[in-house]
Structure 1
Amino acid sequence: MSDPIKHECGLAFIRLRKSFSYYQQRYGTTMWGLNKMYLLMEKQHNRGQDGAGVAAVKLNVEPGYPFLHRIRSAKPQAIADVFRQIGAEVENLAQYNPEIRKHAGLMKGHVSFMGELLLGHLRYGTQGKNNEEFCHPFIKRHTVPARNLALAGNFNLVNTEELFSLINIDPGVFQRQSDLAAMMEVLHHFLVQADENSPEHPDIKAVLQKALPLFDGGFHVGGLTGDGTGFVFRDANGIRPSYYYINEEVIVAASERAAIRTTFNVGENEVKELMPGQALIVYEDGRYEIFQALEPKERKACSFERIYFSRGSDEKIYKERLALGHNLSEQVLNAVDNDLKNTIFSFIPNTAEVAFYGLQKGMEDYLNKRKLERILSWGNNIDQEQLAELISRRVRIEKIAIKDVKMRTFITEDTSRNEMVQHVYDITYGTVTPHVDTLVVIDDSIVRGTTLKESIIRMLARLKPKKIIVVSSSPQIRYPDCYGIDMSKMGDFIAFGAAVALLREKGQEQILQDLLEKCKTLQRNNQLHTENVVQQLYKTATTEEISAKVAQLITPPEVDIPVEVIFQSIEDLHKACPGNLGDWYFTGNYPTPGGNKVVNKAFMNYMEGKDVRGY
């Protein structure tokens, strides 16, 4: 992705179903569970680099001894920092007793995070500051074990104010900045009620059934209670991904199927998907239950997970990204007038690489078809030299754009900083025949277009191609997100900027004011959540007109080489990713009422010149 956006988070949940001595005897280490937690988090490190945290609950702890521990870090390489601290505790103990690692009971008694229940989290901050205080898991402590709660998740909520009001809490400054704080207060409120009603065995199932319907958003959340109960739950539309694996030794849940498969070396079909609205509960005695905590709604699993966010090591995601690229073949061929001889294909590193392979396959299919037609047209009059030349034709691919190590600059002056930003990407010289070759580069998505304009297009223009075609494996990003991705300002989207620019060119700016007034009316009547007003804006221009305007907007003024932009169609996106039809960023069809409220609020902020979040 040329314009990086903060997105997602990663969740890791492990419940050991055997004693620590079992893992010592079978795997040679009492720390098997912690080792697996480290791997499970590292295999999802793409999902969060602002911070990490781990919570652990020990079972059957003697009264008076701590049973809930938590560690968090917001340092660079946060996962490594968290487990370095955990490892340091073990090393300090081993200095006094080198054999302690072999004694399960001593390890559990002296190592803080030797718990049977483990909850890990990787954070990309979409709200709050990037410091340790905002890293998950959050915890609520209480003298009664069952009322202790650790919570972590991959989500955003759009109704936090209503949640605080519901349980009569006036949130402080910190709580207002954290969705998890709101969710924590609600869940803990019902947990305390459940413990009051049944002190020996609080009904966690009833707690989830009461709390979950109150949350408006997309969520995949894990939790631990102090009495040894663990749980994982998913939103009713299945917006955020959730997977689990269960055998006689362990119960695992995570945000990515591939992470579980790699960590535990299991087959694809052994890792199950927690379906929309479902919750997985693991009880103190190791029994588990999967139940429908929320009535499932139309599945709207996030399509961006398949386009970009999730790791492509999942075989289904890999195939879908290939299809995203392949689906663009016809549009690209039309754009280059089927002239593959004078066209070079490349990609913007590194996340567009798989889609590039799919596009390359589409070009090869076309070229092979043309070769076959030519050979058949010759009949029996085959010239060996012509045949050899025909067979040797290949789709021309080059590594044109090179992403350098993340560049930092001490310069604060805007003009100088822009000059430095131009060099985030470098090019491979000597690959393009000047003024003859068309250059086609594929990106997985175009959000703001800033990097394309300030860096990539300028760099590619130095090669002097006849034409530059930028291909996006996703459709036009037109609307904000409020379910875990940091895209909440209308002015950030180049597709929105293009639509507004077209309105102004046509002298129809009044439409913007009309839409603003409609939003204000809805707001006064507490109806801002009832419809997406901004969808009307995009009815004033065709998709092709917006694409052409985007091409103009990303072209630096000094570049005189023609630039064209090709976007994936909504229909082809759905064909490539049939299980993830959540497409509100592209269509504005939000799965929950809160989405409509956010997009309308974001539009109002834009019109009123407020550079703030839409929720």
Structure 2
Amino acid sequence: MSESLKHECGVAFLRLRKPLGYYIEKYGTPAYPVNKMFLLMEKQHNRGQDGAGLASIKIDMKKGHQYIDRLRSIEEQPINHIFKKVGKKFSKAQKEGEKYHNAKWAKENIPFAGELFLGHLRYATYGANDVRFCHPLLRSSNWRSRNLLLAGNFNMTNAEELFSHLAELGQFPQEQGDTITALEKIGHFLDRENQHYYAHYQQEERAKLAFDVNPNGQKRDEEYDYQESNQTLSNEEIIEKVEKNIDWKKILERSCNDFDGGYVMVGMAGHGDAFVARDPASIRPAYYYINDEVIVAASEKPAIKTAFNCEYSDIQELEGGHALIVNKEADYEIIKFKEPLEKKSCSFERIYFSRGTDPEIYNERKMLGRQLNDQVLEAIDHDLENSIFSYIPNTAETAFLGLVKGVEQHLIAEREKTLNQDKTLPKEELMKVMSFRPRVEKLVIKDSKMRTFITGDAQRDDLVAHVYDTTYEIVRKGIDTLVVIDDSIVRGTTLEKSILTMLDKLEPKQIIIVSSAPQIRFPDCYGIDMSRQHEFVVFRALLALLEQHHLKYMLDDVYEKCLASKKQPLEKVVNHVKELYDMFEYEQVSNKVAEIISTNIKAKVKVVYQTVENLHKACPNHSGDWYFTGNYPTQGGNRVANQAFINFMEGKKTRAY
């Protein structure tokens, strides 16, 4: 992508299924799980660069020993910063010789030498880039089973309502962010579950004693027996029974009942239970892998594949509305905690954010490029001889391969057609037809070391124009058409200020910018940094079209409808902004985008967008397309779309949720 989009977030969970000593004996080090967590997090570095966090739990530690370890960082390279610190602890412990390979000693003396691990990568959409807001978050207690570590990849559209519900429960949260709210909500019901079973087992003991009799045939005094009899369970024994019977299905059902958003949440309780829960519409991604040694979950398949060298077919997708529950004994089950909705997993994950090393994503991105073939051929008037195909690095490369493949298949069909029509072609003409290939060049090169420190607009624009570089003396001036594919076009500023300016200096006849994603028309509210309506170049094109066709009054009409929708129940709110886009043809909007981004360009510029229909053909199992269609998977999305438009009309540049 020519523009940087940021994403919240990536999660990594690891549970050892055998005692730590097993891994020390087999792999030669108590750092085995830490090394695996580093791989799980590093291979998801693409998901969040603003901060990272790592937490671990040691099971069945003696009282007085630390059993929860946690590190968080907002340094420039937060993953390396965290694991460098952790590594120093293990390196220091190695100097103790044989003790280092003793599981009991390692757990008691080395931080993060545990059985449960939770990692997180963060982009700061809430709470600024402050280490206090880095996950995993910790809700502390002196009861092991009331300690809760939580990390997630999520955004809630109804964070204000959730905050109010916490207040109604009698809590006094210090922050209004959805992460804190989720932590406190789950923590509240975890407390209730602990208290319920604690009271239940105490009452059970009382009842046992109340109906017992002494040797004289008289009923024992209940109060005396409860406090003094050596037949009752101790409080410690009762707490152990409580820990074994915590009902995570009930906790998640109650906690997530009123959540509206996309989420994958991972929680670990201090005594050793854990859960991974996914939103009912499957908006955010979650995968897991289980064998005899480990239970693993992450936001992306390639991270699991790399860390554990397993088969892709053994990595499972967690269904929406379901949770992977892991108990203290490392047994697991998949439970349904909320009724699943129609699957609307995010298509932008497939287009841009997820690592392209996933075979499914790789093939989908190639297909996205392939689906653009007919539109591109029409845009160049089928003049392949005078066209050069290229891409904007780096995530558009795979779609580019698909586009070129489509062009090659078109040429094969044309050759067959030509040969069938004229079987007496001269050898020279025949060789020309058979040997022709599309012209493919690497025209755009990104200088990753380039930084723009100057704040003045004119100077900054001048520097931005040099973030990308090009290969010179390839384009035939005034003759060639450049076809350059990007994976998506969000704001259009980099195209306008840098890439088009650079390509125009090559003096081509025409420049065609191709987007493997459809037109981005609506804000995201489930974790991606696309929440401000006025920033989208497609929305700017819409405004220009409304003015051009003397329809600007429609902005006020839709504004009034959006304001009125704020008074409606959430389930009745509709996305009124769609009405504005419905007034124009898809190609009209594309043409206006081309005008906007090429005001100072000499060459003729066209913009070709993927169609929504072809997007679904390329990514059939990931139909979440609200950015392009305004069809949000939850009702809260409609409210966010309307609020984003209200913010635009009122000149507010804040997030819409």
Q: TM-score range by the shorter chain?
A: over 0.9
Deviation at 1:523, TM superposition (A): 1.8
Deviation at 1:28, TM superposition (A): 2.0
Note the 1:164-203 alignment, pairs <5 A. 164-168=163-167, 169-172=171-174, 175-176=175-176, 178-199=177-198, 200-201=242-243, 202-203=246-247
Question: Aligned to 1:167, what secondary structure does the other structure show?
Answer: helix
Deviation at 1:512, TM superposition (A): 0.2
Quote the residue 1:444 is aligned against: 487
Question: Aligned to 1:458, what secondary structure does the other structure show?
Answer: helix
CA contact (8 A) 1:528 1:600 kept: no
Write the distance in 1 (CA, Å) between the matches of 2:390 and 2:100: 52
CA contact (8 A) 1:529 1:597 kept: no
Q: Does 1:548 align with 2:547?
A: no
- Mark the runs of 5 or more structure 1 residues left unpaired by the alignment: none
Question: Aligned to 1:363, what secondary structure does the other structure show?
Answer: helix
Quote the residue 2:603 is aligned against: 561
Write the distance in 2 (CA, Å) between the matches of 1:410 and 1:482: 30
Quote the residue 1:374 is aligned against: 418
Write the distance in 2 (CA, Å) between the matches of 1:329 and 1:127: 40
Quote the residue 2:102 is aligned against: 103
Write the distance in 1 (CA, Å) between the matches of 2:410 and 2:454: 49
Note the 1:53-132 alignment, pairs <5 A. 53-95=53-95, 97-132=96-131
- Mark the runs of 5 or more structure 2 residues left unpaired by the alignment: 199-241
Question: Aligned to 2:124, what secondary structure does the other structure show?
Answer: coil
Quote the residue 1:206 is aligned against: 250
Q: Does 1:27 align with 2:69?
A: no
CA contact (8 A) 1:151 1:222 kept: yes
Provide Cα deviations, 1:72-121, integer angstroms capped at 9, x if missing partner.
Answer: 011111111111000111222334x1334322221111111111110000
Provide Cα deviations, 1:280-302, integer angstroms capped at 9, x if missing partner.
Answer: 11000111111111101110000
Q: Does 1:504 align with 2:531?
A: no
Quote the residue 2:336 is aligned against: 292
CA contact (8 A) 2:509 2:603 kept: yes
Write the distance in 1 (CA, Å) between the matches of 2:570 and 2:145: 40
Deviation at 1:559, TM superposition (A): 1.4
Quote the residue 1:466 is aligned against: 509
CA contact (8 A) 1:529 1:596 kept: no
Question: Aligned to 2:398, what secondary structure does the other structure show?
Answer: helix
Write the distance in 1 (CA, Å) between the matches of 2:325 and 2:72: 25
Q: Does 1:532 align with 2:575?
A: yes
Q: Does 1:276 align with 2:320?
A: yes
Q: Does 1:397 align with 2:440?
A: yes
Q: Does 1:582 align with 2:624?
A: yes
Question: Aligned to 1:143, what secondary structure does the other structure show?
Answer: coil
Quote the residue 1:384 is aligned against: 427
Letter matched to residue 466 of structure 1: K
Quote the residue 1:597 is aligned against: 639
Write the distance in 1 (CA, Å) between the matches of 2:554 and 2:5: 30
Moved more, 18-27 or 562-571: 18-27
Moved more, 350-359 or 82-91: 82-91
Sequence identity percentage: 50
Moved more, 223-232 or 197-206: 197-206
Question: Aligned to 1:511, what secondary structure does the other structure show?
Answer: helix
Moved more, 557-566 or 479-488: 557-566
CA contact (8 A) 1:519 1:528 kept: no
Note the 1:42-61 alignment, pairs <5 A. 42-61=42-61
CA contact (8 A) 1:245 1:272 kept: yes
2:284 corresponds, among 233, 240, 243, to 240
CA contact (8 A) 1:7 1:47 kept: yes
Question: Aligned to 2:541, what secondary structure does the other structure show?
Answer: helix
Q: Does 1:570 align with 2:612?
A: yes
Deviation at 1:529, TM superposition (A): 6.2
Corresponding pairs, count: 609
Q: CA RMSD in A?
A: 1.3
Quote the residue 2:204 is aligned against: none
Moved more, 86-95 or 320-329: 86-95
Deviation at 1:385, TM superposition (A): 2.7
Quote the residue 1:149 is aligned against: 148
Quote the residue 2:561 is aligned against: 518
Moved more, 28-37 or 304-313: 28-37
Using structure 2 for the length normalisation, give the TM-score: 0.91
Using structure 1 for the length normalisation, give the TM-score: 0.97
Moved more, 28-37 or 451-460: 28-37
Deviation at 1:527, TM superposition (A): 5.4
Q: Does 1:454 align with 2:497?
A: yes
Letter matched to residue 253 of structure 2: Q
Deviation at 1:170, TM superposition (A): 4.7
Deviation at 1:391, TM superposition (A): 2.5
Letter matched to residue 264 of structure 2: H
Write the distance in 2 (CA, Å) between the matches of 1:371 and 1:524: 63
